[in-house]
Amino acid sequence: MVASDLDRTLIYSAAALELTMPDARAPRLLCVETYESRPLSFLTEDAARLLTELADRTVFVPATTRTPEQYRRVRLPGPPPRYAVCANGGHLLVDGVSDPAWRERVRERLTACAPLDLVRAHMLRQARPEWLLKERVADGLFAYLVVDRALLPGSWVRELADWAGPQGWSVSLQGRKVYAVPNPLTKSAAVAEVVRRAGTTRTFAAGDSLLDADLLRFADTAWRPAHGELADSGLRLPHLRVLPDRGVLAGEAVLRGMGSALAEPTGTESVTAQPVTTDPVTTDPVTTDPVTTDPVTTDPVTTEPLTTKPSGPEPSGAPAVVPEG
């Protein structure tokens, strides 16, 4: 199985492309999303080919924080995915339809947390009009604020996280968005359900955001680009391959790496990754996984250890990384 985040992992807005090469050497791009009749998201033509080949050989599962409505705007190359994870694990789409059994399971888990209305009201009371641009609720599952990052007080996210923790919620800062997400709502829990249903034996995953951290830990082999909040946090895991690429070329590199990894042997000794905790504002690592001294296979470019680990039981707790992302 391949479970991958979408935005800034596989697909990129014009502002996130990071085309730093001369124009004549820029890659040809394929538009995969339009919004209000305008092109919005892209990947390279080579990435489109690689994704098609990968989806033909694996169970490919988009795993996104987008709502189902936002996800359906994306038209990825290759066969339509049988499964998709939306709303950070709040929805499991099967053939494009949200699975009612999964929604009920999520609803039951969320009863252990403070209600969304309480958390949203607290966020808005603490926000200030000089830096709050808009606020949104995603499918009745979690809330986020769009802020002017330059005017956001440095302690505000930390204070909100301190309040939200006892309520069973996590707070993260990702670019201009401050997310409040209930702890049981994780991409890895939904992907674990797909593993159970599809009967797959290996899981590959990729992501750039701290909301992807639990998914990368769950996977047997994972990738992250050189941009994004996970890169800023310095996340390292024994089975995580850190790419040197940024922008839309990183999406291509992720897919190329996954295709190559399909041919690799699977008999390496398993290890268990430990949670990485980061500071809510700076994302400086507070604790990191120890680097194994056992012989491991390394990526020829990054020399990051590639030791794999078993997927294990279905995750059900909070994302291991709460803070900025």
pLDDT tens digit sequence for 182-191: 999 999 999 9
Q: What is the pLDDT of residue 208?
A: 94
* pLDDT higher than 90, residue 199: yes
Mean pLDDT, the chain, rounded, equals: 85
Q: Which residue in 93, 309, 66 sits closest to 211, CA to CA?
A: 66
Distance CA 203, CA 3 (A): 7
Residues 13-32: what's their mean pLDDT? 96
Alpha helix ranges (H) inside the chain: 45-57, 68-71, 100-110, 116-126, 156-164, 187-198, 213-218, 229-233, 248-261
Share of the chain above pLDDT 70, in %: 82
For the chain, the straight-line distance linking the first and the last C-alpha, in angstroms and rounded, comes to 25
Residue with tokens 């390279």: 44
Reported as a single tens digit per residue, the pLDDT across 44-95 is 999 999 999 999 999 999 999 999 999 999 999 999 999 999 999 999 999 9
Give the predicted TM-score (pTM) of the model: 0.79
* pLDDT higher than 70, residue 325: no
Task: For residue 298, give both structure tokens.
Answer: 């390394």
Q: What is the pLDDT of residue 139?
A: 92
Q: Give the three-state DSSP class for 312.
A: coil
**What contacts 263, CB < 8 A, 6 or more positions away?**
none
Q: Which residue in 233, 206, 208, 247 sits closest to 324, CA to CA?
A: 233
Report in angstroms the alpha-carbon separations of 236 from 149, 152, 287: 27, 29, 10
The conformation of residue 170, written as its DSSP 8-state character, comes to E
Q: What is the pLDDT of residue 264?
A: 82
Q: What is the pLDDT of residue 175?
A: 76
Q: What's the pLDDT band for 267 if we cut at 50, 70, 90?
A: low
Q: Give the three-state DSSP class for 220.
A: coil
Q: What is the pLDDT of residue 155?
A: 93
* pLDDT higher than 50, residue 323: no
Distance CA 199, CA 134 (A): 42
Sheet-wide strand order for 204-206: 60-62, 2-4, 204-206, 221-224, 240-242
- What are the φ/ψ torsions at residue 179 (nearest 5 degrees)? -100, 140
Reported as a single tens digit per residue, the pLDDT across 123-133 is 999 999 999 99
**Partner residues linked to 38 by β-bridges:** 35
